[in-house]
Copies of this chain bind each other. A is one copy, B any other.
Amino acid sequence: MIRAHMATSLDGFVAGANQTLEKPFGDHTEHFNDWLWELAAVRKTFGKTGGDTGPSNDVFLDRTANIGAFVMGRNMFGGGPGPWAKEPRWDGWWGENPPYHAPVFVLTHYPRDPQPMEGGTTFHFVTDGIESALAKARAAAKDKDVVVAGGAQAVGQALRAGALDMLELHLIPQIVGAGARLLDGIPPAILQQDRVVPANGVTHLRYRIRRV
């Protein structure tokens, strides 16, 4: 299964206007992940104990289980536009041991050799588009799932390619007004409401996508 899970505002934005290196999610998005940080399962990934074990924690555990590979857009991986610099080398936002622990296929226009990291993450750089990246990820994931990690453009490309089987929106009770909309220019589709989890400051809406 190929799936995506995105925090989105009520007006459909997954990032606000004016994205910068210091504020990668743009204006008015500073509370988008408030529901996440104090979850027990998230604290555990940072080596911390305790935390919230409510419904959002179950959603996070489900979302992070059974993943064999990721696909990611260049903007989400970061390092700025254009060819890859040799020095200083950009290996993503997540330090030496990124939280993926699986192959990550990064969409880019610029070739680069695979970059193995600690903890099982290897960044592969794919220059021939979303369908190729998804095929490579599916092959690497074997019988596990592929997650399109973001951003809006990468998930939108997967949706437009008819490749996404499941979409989960973590709906944030906020109007952002401008930025990157997740569902923009997506062809009409009927989805199946799979699971709705109301939680503290967020509603988790999971849909299965019927390929027409």
- The residues of A with any CB-CB pair to B shorter than 8 Å are 10-12, 27-28, 31, 169, 171, 173-177, 183-193, 196, 198, 201-203, 205, 207
Contact = CB atoms under 8 A, between A and B. Distances in A.
Nearest to A201: B193
Copies in the complex: 2
B198 A193 contact: yes
A196 B193 contact: no
Contact of A189 (B12, B169, B175, B187): B175
B185 A177 contact: yes
A195 to B, nearest CB: 8
Given A12-B11, A12-B183, A184-B11, A174 B191 contact: yes
Given A12-B12, A203-B205, A173 B190 contact: yes
Nearest to A193: B173
Given A11-B184, A12-B11, A191 B203 contact: no
A203 B196 contact: yes
A191 B10 contact: yes
Nearest to A207: B173
A207 B169 CA distance: 17
Given A175-B187, A190-B31, A198 B201 contact: no
- Residue of A27, A192, A193 with most chain B CB atoms under a 10 A cut-off: A193
A11 B14 CA distance: 12
A8 to B, nearest CB: 10
B192 A173 contact: yes
Contacts of A205: 171, 203
A203 B171 CA distance: 12
A163 to B, nearest CB: 14
